[in-house]
């Protein structure tokens, strides 16, 4: 992940109408601009800001809009703006920490078509894909799938199989990934510098597959979250430095800081098991038990090996609840 990304979409990367069997312009109207506002005391305000902008995709006739969760976490107000500039208020329906999806409900009539959900599992490396942004063709990218593989994010996040596409969309947050049949196959989460499995830099995007959303959609609509025991969360931001797992930052109100962990601590193991990368670290934490369990970490600080038990929490418990209108 990086902020070293282009600021405009080159014209040669626009999707071209003649390359698709569906009405490209109509499909892209289903992608809306999304703007959200959080209070200054929101837990996520410090690192995500109090004003967030991105995209959302209309997925139903009754106004459900799918986006990426960080755009709406702790939102007090949400506005959806269509291609003609018409703004419609919305509220958070729910978000899922494991997948990263967020779901909002428009509070007025949206006069655009919705996108049908496709099958992300059917995508193959080399398949064409449109990364659609609000604003139509000139705000969208004709890309292709360059890899499908595991992804670990430094904020306690793992996808078993993320979809990586290139060239990169420069305004990626919440943009819709549309397959060759005109169906929604994922939501864009990140700009990445290494979209392929090789070591050479290759700018692209990470797409969260739509197949992860389908099993949780009903829970999000009914309860605002998935109805299963939450994972333990420590509130650590990790970095991999010369094959070492180093704490780069911590949430000020998170359990790791409260337990006495420090920036610069190197994590060697979880619950007695060695960890070598972000994936093994986070999965090791989640294997200890449900949220609330004490997670034993083996760390190195100033050359000294020590064990610190971190009482985990459910991350949702420290976030401000969605504001329902």
Q: With a cut of 80, say whether residue 199 has pLDDT above it.
A: no
Q: With a cut of 90, say whether residue 321 has pLDDT above it.
A: no
Domains of the chain (ranges, CATH numbers):
1-228 (2.40.10.120), 236-318 (2.30.42.10)
Q: With a cut of 80, say whether residue 298 has pLDDT above it.
A: yes
Q: Is the dihedral of CA 270, 266, 200, 174 positive or negative?
A: positive
Q: With a cut of 70, say whether residue 200 has pLDDT above it.
A: no
Check residue 8 and give its pLDDT. Answer: 86
Quick one: tokens of 130? Answer: 């449109």
pLDDT-based confidence at residue 323 (cuts at 50, 70, 90): low
In whole angstroms, what separates CA 4 from the centre of its chain?
18
Burial label, 20 (beta-carbon count in 10 A; 0-12, 13-18, 19+) = middle
């Amino acid at each position: 992940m990086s902020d070293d990304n282009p600021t405009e979409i080159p014209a040669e990367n626009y999707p071209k109408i003649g390359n698709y069997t569906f009405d490209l312009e109509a499909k892209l109207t289903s992608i809306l601009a999304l703007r959200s506002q959080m209070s200054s005391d929101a837990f996520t305000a410090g690192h995500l800001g109090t004003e967030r902008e991105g995209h959302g995709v209309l997925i139903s006739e009754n106004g459900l809009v799918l986006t990426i969760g960080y755009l709406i976490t702790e939102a007090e107000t949400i506005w959806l703006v269509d291609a003609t500039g018409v703004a419609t208020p919305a509220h958070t329906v729910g978000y899922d920490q494991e997948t990263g999806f967020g779901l909002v409900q428009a509070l007025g009539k949206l006069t655009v078509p919705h996108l049908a959900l496709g099958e992300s599992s059917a995508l193959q490396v080399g398949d064409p894909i449109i990364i659609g942004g609000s604003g139509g063709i000139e705000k969208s990218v004709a890309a292709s799938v360059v890899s499908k593989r595991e992804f670990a994010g430094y904020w306690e996040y793992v996808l078993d199989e993320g979809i990586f596409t290139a060239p990169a969309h420069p305004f990626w947050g919440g943009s819709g990934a549309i397959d060759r049949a005109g169906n929604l196959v994922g939501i864009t989460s990140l700009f990445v510098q290494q979209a392929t499995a090789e070591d050479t830099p290759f700018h692209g995007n990470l797409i969260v597959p739509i197949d992860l959303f389908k099993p949780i959609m009903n829970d999000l609509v009914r309860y605002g979250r998935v109805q299963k025991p939450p994972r333990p969360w420590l509130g650590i931001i990790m970095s991999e430095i010369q094959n070492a797992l180093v704490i780069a930052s911590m949430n000020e109100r998170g359990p790791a800081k409260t337990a006495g962990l420090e920036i610069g601590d190197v994590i060697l193991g979880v619950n007695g098991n060695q960890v070598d990368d972000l994936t093994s670290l986070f999965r090791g934490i989640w294997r200890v038990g449900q949220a609330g369990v004490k997670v034993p970490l083996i760390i190195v600080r100033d050359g000294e090996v020590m064990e610190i038990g971190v009482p985990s929490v459910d991350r949702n418990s420290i976030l401000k609840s969605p504001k329902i209108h």
